[in-house]
Amino acid sequence: MRRRAVFLDRDGVLNRAFVRDGRPHPPASLAELTVLPGVPAALARLSAAGFRLHVVTNQPDVARGTQTRETVEAMHAELVARGLPLDGFHVCYHDDADACECRKPKAGLLVSAAASEDLDLAGSFMVGDRWRDIEAGRRAGCTTVLVDYAYAESLTIQPDIRVRSLAEAADWILSSMAP
């Protein structure tokens, strides 16, 4: 039987995003990386329930020259060092103009992650805080969960559910498994 996963956007889901002009931005440095309240416990519960936990994140600031790949990778290493039970990191370092297949809202990151572990996309969930996450999850065939911060951007597609935190998302995901 193929395993199920919870695909997680990074900024705004696992760690604090910095909101400027109504839009979220990633931490600029390792020192700014702050894990959101309730995230470690929510991830532990999802992992204990048998879900594989994969981070799928756009990091276009690398292509834009305002962030380095090394800093992004250091942040991921720090999340693991803090004990978050994450099974993989899948990163798009491109910007929209690159027209790659991995940049959300395309489903490339999720499809690639699923292929690497033979994951069941239809039985999996995508948790994100932006329209790009929800659209990528839907394109991959996942159930979508929006951590809704009421950013100043429109959704292109409605999520299956809106929540206020990863902890609330985990509650909903785990309750959806109940017989």
Region 168-177: mean pLDDT is 96
Q: Which of 11, 87, 95, 129 is labelled catalytic? A: 11
Q: Which of 9, 21, 98, 171 is labelled catalytic? A: 9
Helix (H, G, I), strand (E, B) or coil at 82: coil
Provide the pLDDT for residue 171: 98
DSSP state of 123: G
Is 36 within 8 Å of 24 (Cβ atoms)? no
96 catalytic residue (yes or no): no
pLDDT greater than 90 at residue 177: no
9 catalytic residue (yes or no): yes
* Domains by residue range for the chain, with CATH: 5-176 (3.40.50.1000)
Structure confidence at residue 75 as a pLDDT band (50, 70, 90): very high
Provide the pLDDT for residue 2: 84
Q: How far apart are CA 113 and CA 164, in angstroms?
A: 26
State if pTM tops 0.95. yes
Residue 5, φ and ψ in degrees, nearest 5: -135, 160
Q: How far apart are CA 135 and CA 129, in angstroms?
A: 11
Provide the pLDDT for residue 179: 61
Provide the pLDDT for residue 66: 93
Provide the pLDDT for residue 109: 98
pLDDT greater than 80 at residue 178: no
For residue 76, give Cα distances in angstroms to 85, 138, 167, 168. 12, 25, 20, 23
Q: How far apart are CA 28 and CA 66, in angstroms?
A: 8
Each residue's pLDDT tens digit, 110-167: 999 999 999 999 999 999 999 999 999 999 999 999 999 999 999 989 999 999 999 9
Each residue's pLDDT tens digit, 97-109: 999 999 999 999 9
Beta strands in the chain (DSSP E): 5-8, 18-20, 23-25, 52-58, 88-92, 125-128, 143-147, 161-163
Each residue's pLDDT tens digit, 19-74: 999 999 999 999 999 999 999 999 999 999 999 999 999 999 999 999 999 999 99
Provide the pLDDT for residue 56: 98
Provide the pLDDT for residue 63: 95
Is 176 within 8 Å of 9 (Cβ atoms)? no
Structure tokens at 97: 């103009």
